[in-house]
Amino acid sequence: QVQLTESGGGLVQAGGSLRLSCAAFGSIRSINYMAWYRQGPGKPRELVAKITSDGRVNYLDSVKDRFTISRDNAKNSMDLQMRSLKPDDTAVYYCNVEVETIPWSNERHYWGQGTLVTVSS
C-alpha cells in the first residue's frame, strides 16, 4: 500500500506563485514516474506535468513556461513550482505516481487526495 501526501495549495492573486509538494510513503521499491494532474470547475482532469525516474519531464502546453516540476528520488517526493498564475489555473491539483512495490503488486498507480489552488483575478 502506498500513501501520497500533498501540500501547498491555497489562494493567490493572478501573477503570484505557489509551490505544491507531494511525498510518497509505503512499501516502495521504485517510482517510475511522478505527475501532477488538475481538474478545474466543470472540466476534465488533465495532466499538468510529469517527471520520470531519470528526470525526463513533460508539461501541459499552457503551463510550460510558468511551471517547473522537480523530484527528489531519495525522498520519494516531488514539487511543482507554479509562477505567473492565472485564474484559468484554478483547480484541484492531484499527485499521481506509478510505483513498483515490495512485494510486487499489480496495483501500481496511486492518487493523492488533491489540493485546491485558487487564483483570483
Q: How confident is the model at residue 107 (pLDDT cuts 50, 70, 90)?
A: confident
Kind and range of the H or E run holding 58: strand 57-59
In the structure, what pLDDT confidence band is assigned to residue 9 with cuts at 50, 70 and 90?
very high
One-letter amino acid for residue 59 of the chain: Y
Q: Is 112 helix (H, G, I), strand (E, B) or coil?
A: coil
pLDDT of residue 115: 97
Tens digits of per-residue pLDDT, 15-36? 999 999 999 999 999 999 999 9
pLDDT tens profile 36-95? 999 999 999 999 999 999 999 999 999 999 999 999 999 999 999 999 999 999 999 999
**The pLDDT value given to residue 12:** 98
Determine the pLDDT at residue 105: 86
Pairing relationship of beta strands 18-26 and 77-82 according to DSSP bridges: antiparallel
CB 78 within 8 A of CB 102: no
What's the pLDDT at 6? 96
Angstrom distance (rounded) from CA 119 to CA 91: 9
pLDDT at residue 11 greater than cutoff 90: yes
SS3 category, 121:
coil
